[in-house]
């Protein structure tokens, strides 16, 4: 074989199986040239044509080999491409975002698994379709607009999309979508790709949290936090224009009783109904909030710039609310539901949101005090009282240690006008306010439980006073009555405290009279009886103060170990003109007589009262007619 052919042959050996054909052609040619058997008889082939055929064969073989090579390379490239595509598709199908590709005429050419799942259709059904065939008209219009924006401007966009399917059974989805153009090698926009994350659940969680943070779980109304935000906003707004707004605090009267008498479910139902009823009366610009168990607030924004008109409007709204509340029916028959409303007007000048709320609160308190089922407006006087109360509370904490308390004494006389004893009445000498009356600070002391140490102090003072008087022949027979608050009376070691004070002062216990009001008797009758019996066991006397103002039943009274009844001064004041007061005073006197109790009338200011009482068997008198409460050294004890 000539060298060139051999070299060509070798060069194309790699083109198996085609190279096998080459030696076959070469051998046939060679045989013909050298006259080997099989070649005999053939006409001699000229050498040039021999070489020509060899060359043709070689060229053809080479061309064939190149074609085969290219095909194989193409096949390998396609395999690789398919593998890559497969891998990419596996990756895209395994992510939780929806991925799609659309043609410029907005038909889907690719969607991943998540996208098909979200649409509730097989991939094959989605490919080639447009959004109009998959979503409702509004959704499709929005999606088309977003797609066109990408295709026309060649820019990436990030948008929120709500997808509502044409198929009513497929739930709607909220997506956060990124869309971007896909370019051809020449730079033209060939298609667009979208990657959308389903944020439906995430939004739901956010919304749920938002609802929890800003709305009442029972009624779904704005809670205190949201109300305060809206109130602040209303105050800011109103500052820029003349006018008024109103804040109305609405509270169901004795709601606890409804809960106790019916059930908590019934209580909840009442609140839900109230929320509904109130909701129907509220304008769009107003805010109705549910801020506590049975506390609702109506924030009314645009009221008249004239304060009288604004107040009249607010009052009309409040009155309508009050009228509507009793229409809520409850299971328990015969129980009418009523409400109380506290209203304050605001104009954006002065009071902050917190202060405005406080004002409505104070007004509500007044409405409650007036017996409920009514409304009250906040006024400056209320504000003064509230501020005083805050100051009293703060200063009261330190009054004991600063020795600002004094015990005053008011004499008590018998039917002959002879002094039999005194009532100890607490006074607070405030460094700035001067003499603070007990009705101003005792309720605060009770609320803060400061009445316990204060009450103990009064008891110690009076017993010391009795101890001192015991040494004076002119005074040793005098008793002292001490007022004991319900909180103090029920404190666990009250009787022990009294026992200990009696022991240390070594006084005659029968000269100490413990005065309790009817409110003490209300709760837990058995406990009250035990304590009263223990006190009497110590030798002290017990008087029932302000008798006739409470509701203690006569039957109950009969069983209590009492020594004395005090006719409240409100009845004494009406003697002898007011028929009702006269009747009550007479009843108390005869009752005391029947029960074997002594009676003392408080607040006796006139001779007429004194005479009338004496004529009906009253044996004890206390009041300005005989003497005002005074410090001990101003007591005028003239006769024995």
From the list Mg ion, ligand C2E, none, which binds 439 (C-beta under 5 to 8 Å, kind-based)? ligand C2E
Closest CB to ligand C2E among 22 and 442?
442
Q: How far is the CB of 578 from ligand C2E (least distance, A)?
A: 16
Sites for Mg ion among residues 467-526 (CB under 5 A):
483, 515
Residue 408 to residue 422: CA distance in whole angstroms: 9
Query: How far are the Cα atoms of 82, 409, 516 from residue 426, in angstroms, in the given order?
Result: 100, 9, 15
Sites for ligand C2E among residues 204-233 (CB under 6 A):
none
Residues 6+ apart with CB under 8 A from 32: 39, 42, 45, 50
588 belongs to the binding site for ligand C2E (CB under 6 A): no
Q: Which stretch binds ligand C2E (CB under 6 A): 179-187, 323-331, 583-591, 603-611?
A: 603-611
Number of helices (H) and strands (E) in the chain: give both, helices first.
24, 20
Residue among 131, 147, 253, 546 that touches Mg ion (CB under 5 A): 546
From the list Mg ion, ligand C2E, none, which binds 190 (C-beta under 5 to 8 Å, kind-based)? none
Closest CB to ligand C2E among 485 and 491?
485
Closest CB to Mg ion among 161 and 545?
545
Q: How far is the CB of 558 from ligand C2E (least distance, A)?
A: 23
CB 97: neighbour CB atoms within 10 A? 17
Q: Give the β-pairing of 620-622 and 244-252.
A: unpaired
Closest residue by Cα to residue 360 from 432, 454, 291, 414: 291
Closest CB to ligand C2E among 509 and 603?
603
Closest CB to Mg ion among 219 and 410?
410
545 belongs to the binding site for ligand C2E (CB under 6 A): yes
Closest CB to Mg ion among 483 and 485?
483
- What is the distance of C-alpha 640 from the center of its chain? 66
Closest CB to Mg ion among 196 and 483?
483
From the list Mg ion, ligand C2E, none, which binds 605 (C-beta under 5 to 8 Å, kind-based)? ligand C2E
Q: How far is the CB of 206 from ligand C2E (least distance, A)?
A: 55
629 belongs to the binding site for ligand C2E (CB under 6 A): yes
DSSP per-residue codes, 244-303:
EEEEEEEEETTHHHHHHHS-HHHHHHHHHHHHHHHHHH--TTSEEEE-SSSEEEEEEEEE
Q: How far is the CB of 375 from Mg ion (least distance, A)?
A: 32
Q: How does DSSP classify residue 349?
A: S
Residue 427 to residue 438: CA distance in whole angstroms: 6
Phi, psi of 606 (to 5 degrees): -125, 160
Residue 459 to residue 172: CA distance in whole angstroms: 75
Sites for ligand C2E among residues 479-518 (CB under 6 A):
483-485
Closest CB to ligand C2E among 325 and 480?
480
Closest CB to ligand C2E among 253 and 545?
545
Q: How far is the CB of 619 from ligand C2E (least distance, A)?
A: 17
Sites for Mg ion among residues 337-366 (CB under 5 A):
none
Sites for ligand C2E among residues 399-418 (CB under 6 A):
410
Sites for Mg ion among residues 562-621 (CB under 5 A):
602
Sites for ligand C2E among residues 422-481 (CB under 6 A):
425-426, 437-439, 442, 455, 458
From the list Mg ion, ligand C2E, none, which binds 485 (C-beta under 5 to 8 Å, kind-based)? ligand C2E
Query: How far are the Cα atoms of 39, 52, 53, 259 from residue 47, in angstroms, in the given order?
Result: 15, 9, 10, 125
Residue among 50, 569, 614, 616 that touches ligand C2E (CB under 6 A): 569
Q: Which stretch binds ligand C2E (CB under 6 A): 98-106, 149-157, 468-476, 598-606?
A: 598-606
Q: How far is the CB of 547 from Mg ion (least distance, A)?
A: 8
Residue among 339, 348, 603, 620 that touches ligand C2E (CB under 6 A): 603
Residue 465 to residue 409: CA distance in whole angstroms: 11
Sites for ligand C2E among residues 296-335 (CB under 6 A):
none
Closest CB to Mg ion among 378 and 547?
547
Can you say whether the dihedral through the CA atoms of 548, 553, 559, 560 is positive or negative?
negative
Closest CB to ligand C2E among 382 and 413?
413
Q: How far is the CB of 569 from Mg ion (least distance, A)?
A: 7
Q: Which stretch binds Mg ion (CB under 5 A): 300-308, 312-320, 367-375, 544-552?
A: 544-552
Rg of the chain over all Cα atoms, to the nearest angstrom:
51
602 belongs to the binding site for ligand C2E (CB under 6 A): yes
Q: How does DSSP classify residue 111?
A: E
Q: How far is the CB of 589 from Mg ion (least distance, A)?
A: 16
CB 564: neighbour CB atoms within 10 A? 20
Closest residue by Cα to residue 569 from 543, 546, 599, 588: 546
Residue among 147, 253, 294, 545 that touches Mg ion (CB under 5 A): 545
DSSP per-residue codes, 147-197:
HHHHHHH---EEEEEEE-BSSTTSPPEEEEEEEEEEE-TTS-EEEEEEEEE
In DSSP terms, 517 is beta-bridged to 545
620 belongs to the binding site for ligand C2E (CB under 6 A): no
131 belongs to the binding site for Mg ion (CB under 5 A): no
Residue among 251, 253, 286, 546 that touches ligand C2E (CB under 6 A): 546
Closest CB to ligand C2E among 154 and 438?
438
Closest CB to ligand C2E among 196 and 483?
483
Closest CB to ligand C2E among 581 and 602?
602
Residue among 193, 272, 605, 630 that touches ligand C2E (CB under 6 A): 605
From the list ligand C2E, Mg ion, none, which binds 425 (C-beta under 5 to 8 Å, kind-based)? ligand C2E
Q: How far is the CB of 335 from ligand C2E (least distance, A)?
A: 33
DSSP per-residue codes, 498-545:
HHHHHHHHT--GGGEEEEEEHHHHHS-HHHHHHHHHHHHHTT-EEEEE
Q: Are 179 and 157 in contact (CB under 8 A)?
A: yes
Closest residue by Cα to residue 623 from 413, 313, 453: 413
- What DSSP element (H or E) covers 125? helix 123-126
Q: Are 627 and 422 in contact (CB under 8 A)?
A: no
Each residue of 475-501: b (16+ CB within 10 Å) or e?
bebbbbbbbbbbbbbebeebbebbbeb
End-to-end CA distance of the chain: 165
294 belongs to the binding site for Mg ion (CB under 5 A): no
User: Which spans of this chain sit near ligand C2E (rule: CB under 6 A)?
Assistant: 410, 425-426, 437-439, 442, 455, 458, 483-485, 545-546, 569, 602-605, 622-624, 629
User: Which spans of this chain sit near Mg ion (rule: CB under 5 A)?
Assistant: 483, 515, 545-546, 602
């Amino acid at each position: 074989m000539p060298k060139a052919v051999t070299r060509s042959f070798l060069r194309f050996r790699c083109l198996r199986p085609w190279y096998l054909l080459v030696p076959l052609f070469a051998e046939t040619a060679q045989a013909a040239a050298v006259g080997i058997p099989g070649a005999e008889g053939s006409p001699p082939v000229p050498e040039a044509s021999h070489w020509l055929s060899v060359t043709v064969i070689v060229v053809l073989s080479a061309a064939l080999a190149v074609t085969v090579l290219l095909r194989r390379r193409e096949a390998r490239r396609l395999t690789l491409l398919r593998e890559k595509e497969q891998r990419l598709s596996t990756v895209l199908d395994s992510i939780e975002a929806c991925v799609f590709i659309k043609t410029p005429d907005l038909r889907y050419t690719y969607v991943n698994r998540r996208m098909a799942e979200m649409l509730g259709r097989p991939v094959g059904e989605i490919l080639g379709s447009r959004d109009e065939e998959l979503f409702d008209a509004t959704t499709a219009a929005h999606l088309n607009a977003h797609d066109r924006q990408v295709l026309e401007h060649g820019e990436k966009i990030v948008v929120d999309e709500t997808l509502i399917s044409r198929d009513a059974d497929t739930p709607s989805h909220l997506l956060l979508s990124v869309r971007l153009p896909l370019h051809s090698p020449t730079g033209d926009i060939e298609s667009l790709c979208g990657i959308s994350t389903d944020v439906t659940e995430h939004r739901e969680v956010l919304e749920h949290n938002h609802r929890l943070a800003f709305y009442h779980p029972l009624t779904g109304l704005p809670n205190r936090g949201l109300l305060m935000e809206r109130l602040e906003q209303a105050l800011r707004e109103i500052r820029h224009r003349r006018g008024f707004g109103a804040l109305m605090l609405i509270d169901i009267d004795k709601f606890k009783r409804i809960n106790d008498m019916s059930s908590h479910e019934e209580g909840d139902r009442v609140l839900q109904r109230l929320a509904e009823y109130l909701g129907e009366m509220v304008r769009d610009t107003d805010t109705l909030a549910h801020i506590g168990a049975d506390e609702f607030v109506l924030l009314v924004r645009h009221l008249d710039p004239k304060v009288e008109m604004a107040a009249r409007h607010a009052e009309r709204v409040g009155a309508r609310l009050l009228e509507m509340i009793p229409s809520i029916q409850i299971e328990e028959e015969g129980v009418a539901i009523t409400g109380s409303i506290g209203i304050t007007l605001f104009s954006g000048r002065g009071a902050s949101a917190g202060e405005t709320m406080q004002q409505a609160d104070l007004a509500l308190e007044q409405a409650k005090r007036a017996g409920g089922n009514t409304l009250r407006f906040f006024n400056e006087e209320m504000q003064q009282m509230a501020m005083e109360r805050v100051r009293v509370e703060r200063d009261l904490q330190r009054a004991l240690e600063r020795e600002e308390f004094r015990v005053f004494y008011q004499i008590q006389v018998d039917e002959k006008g002879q002094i039999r004893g005194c009532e100890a009445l607490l006074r607070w000498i405030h460094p700035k306010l001067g003499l603070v009356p007990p009705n101003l600070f005792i309720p605060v002391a009770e609320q803060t439980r400061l009445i316990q140490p204060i009450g103990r102090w009064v008891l110690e003072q009076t017993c010391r006073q009795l101890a001192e008087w015991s040494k004076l022949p002119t005074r040793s027979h005098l008793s002292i009555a001490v007022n004991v608050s319900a909180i103090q009376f029920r404190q666990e070691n009250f009787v022990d405290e009294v026992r200990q004070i009696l022991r240390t002062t070594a006084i005659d216990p029968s000269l100490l009279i413990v005065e309790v009001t009817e409110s003490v008797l209300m709760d837990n009758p058995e406990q009250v009886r035990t304590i009263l019996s223990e006190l009497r066991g110590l030798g002290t006397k017990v008087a029932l103060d302000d008798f006739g103002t409470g509701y203690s039943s006569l039957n109950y009274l009969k069983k209590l170990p009492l020594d004395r009844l005090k006719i409240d001064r409100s009845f004494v004041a009406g003697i002898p003109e007011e028929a009702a007061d006269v009747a009550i005073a007479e009843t108390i006197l005869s009752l005391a007589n029947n029960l074997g109790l002594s009676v003392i009338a408080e607040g006796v200011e006139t001779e007429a009262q004194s005479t009338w009482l004496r004529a009906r068997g009253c044996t004890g008198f206390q009041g300005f007619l005989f003497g005002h409460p005074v410090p001990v050294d101003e007591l005028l004890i003239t006769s024995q």
